[in-house]
Amino acid sequence: MSIGLRKPKAKRTWSKEEEEALVEGLKEVGPSWSKILDLYGPGGKITENLKNRTQVQLKDKARNWKLQYLKSGKPLPDYLIKVTGNLEKIYKAKKKFSQSPN
């Protein structure tokens, strides 16, 4: 009997089609993950390229893209501006983690 323990799912690499669908969704509706899945998820109105992805996976992927742009100093594409995440929060979390006594 397990008490709330879940086996972690294998990490799935994003396909070019999935990434393109996420970018198109962000351009069309912004970071509205459920709307993006309405367009590109199971039974999607445009395609089903994101049928195997969850809202959380979409959010994480978009946030990671945004952070990559910010870290590299490259200009941020318009479709990522409203996505949550900034470097300040990341650096604060790392600093706090590295200072915690073990």
pLDDT digits (tens, 9 = 90+) for 8-60: 777 889 999 999 999 999 999 999 999 999 999 999 999 999 999 999 999 99
Handedness of CA 49, 68, 87, 30 (dihedral sign): negative
User: Measured in Å, how far apart are the chain's first and last C-alpha atoms?
Assistant: 32
Phi and psi at 95, nearest 5°, equal: -65, -45
CA distance 80 to 72: 15
Residue ranges of alpha helices (H) inside the chain are 16-29, 33-40, 55-72, 87-99
Q: Taking 90 as the threshold, does the pLDDT of residue 88 lie above it? A: no
Least confident of 8-22, 56-70, 78-92: 78-92
> Is pTM beyond 0.75 here?
yes
Q: Which amino acid is at 50?
A: L
